[in-house]
Structure formats: structure tokens, C-alpha cells
Amino acid sequence: MYNEDDAVAKLGGYVISVAGAGRLIGKKTLVRIEKVARSAASATLVEGAEVVDIPAPSNGSGETGPGSDGEDKRPPSRGRRGGRGRRRKPAEAESAGGSGE
């Protein structure tokens, strides 16, 4: 399957095993895809390719990409029916038509 000296990356749903790239983990370089299967691929390092250090993310969560710039996001919606906050608070219940006059 994988060797200790290999690096494993995930790109667009593919798991890519790069032979001999274990020493380059955390760096960015050019690879050549040699063999492609249904959900995985094997690659080798390209000789003479430039190796670039990848800067650590600044938000401390380890995430990179869109929406990871440190802004507070709203929690995911739990749907229209049920979940947290289903019951009305007492102040809202009174103003929603609780009187029968």
C-alpha cells in the first residue's frame, strides 16, 4: 500500500501517493502522476523541480481555503423543524398571540 518514505496528498477527491516524498511533507513541489485508479493515484517527484515552503495558517485552526480567514461563522443550520431553539422563549410566546380577548 504505502511506504514509510512516501507522502500522501488528497486533491479533488483523489488520494495521491507520492513515492519518496516523505522528506518534503509541508512543502510544495511538482510531481508526475504515473498510475490512476478509481479513487487513488500514484506519483513520482519530478527531477529539478522547485521546492517551496508552505506558510502555516494564521488562524491556528489548521484550515486553509475559502472562509478560513479567522472570521466567526454562524453555526450550521439544523433545519426548520426541531433541533435547538425549537421552543419559543416566554417573552416571544406572549407577544405571538397568547391572549384570548
C-alpha cell at 17: 501517493
Rounded to the nearest integer, the mean pLDDT of the chain is 75
C-alpha cell at 31: 510531481
Query: What type of residue sits at position 97?
Result: G
Asked if pLDDT for residue 70 goes beyond 60, the answer is: no
Asked if pLDDT for residue 32 goes beyond 90, the answer is: yes
Q: Which residues contact 44 (CB under 8 A, 6 or more apart)?
A: 18, 19, 20, 31, 32, 34
Please tell me the pTM assigned to this model. 0.51
Query: What type of residue sits at position 71?
Result: E
Q: How far is CA 92 from CA 11, 24, 46, in A?
A: 48, 58, 65
Query: Is residue 17 very low, low, confident or very high in pLDDT (cuts 50, 70, 90)?
Result: very high
CA 41 to chain centre: 20
